[in-house]
Amino acid sequence: MKNCLLTEVALPLTLHAETAADLMTPNPVSIRDRATIKEAVVLLIDKGISAAPVIDKAGRPVGVLSRTDILIHTREKVEYLKPAPEFFDQADLATPAGEVLPRGFQVERVDQTRVRDVMTPVVFAVEPQTPVRRVVEEMLALKVHRLFVVDSDGVLVGVISALDVLRYLRPGAR
């Protein structure tokens, strides 16, 4: 059997965008700082995203909430509910409306923690006219996966993820 090594001449990659506005995903999915963690989990899962900018009532970014932030919160917030005492008869366990609870029924204590208490309270942002070279340099220097794009009033208008940058890479000419 003959080993054959295929060599491919690699062309340099060129970023085919000029400004942050060219790279950004406009009107990104965001979450209010007053939302609960449970609402945030639903949003991230339903939208299929790993993080979302957290905005205040004026639409200005105040942080970012990632799945990692939620996992850390969940790991640190362990809460055990007391089991029903054994002296209760199953028939004694009922809702205030009189509905009997089935065997194996568990009571969940809903986490009322707000997004603002769990988010990473740092906003790394650029303006729409920021050159792409600076966008990439910022992402690398800050070691972040995304940058927010804000207008002159500081209102969130877009987000640039590492994936957005990759979408604009094209083989360049030699």
Q: Give the pLDDT means over successive 10-residue stretches in the chain (174 positions).
A: 63 90 95 95 94 92 94 80 59 69 68 92 96 96 94 94 93 68
Indicate whether 27 belongs to any domain.
Answer: yes
Distance CA 165, CA 169 (A): 7
> Considering its fold, how many domains does the chain have in total?
1
Give this prediction's pTM.
0.73
Residue 4 lies in a domain: no
Q: What are the structure tokens assigned to 60, written together? A: 């200005």
Compute the chain's Rg from CA coordinates: 24
Cα separation of 152 and 170, whole Å? 31
Nearest to 54 by CA among 161, 156, 162: 156
Q: Does residue 34 form part of some domain? A: yes
**Contact yes or no for 145/66 (Cβ under 8 A):** no
User: What CATH number does the domain containing 91 carry?
Assistant: 3.10.580.10
Is the residue at 7 inside a domain? no
Parent domain of 110: 15-171
Residue type, 113: T
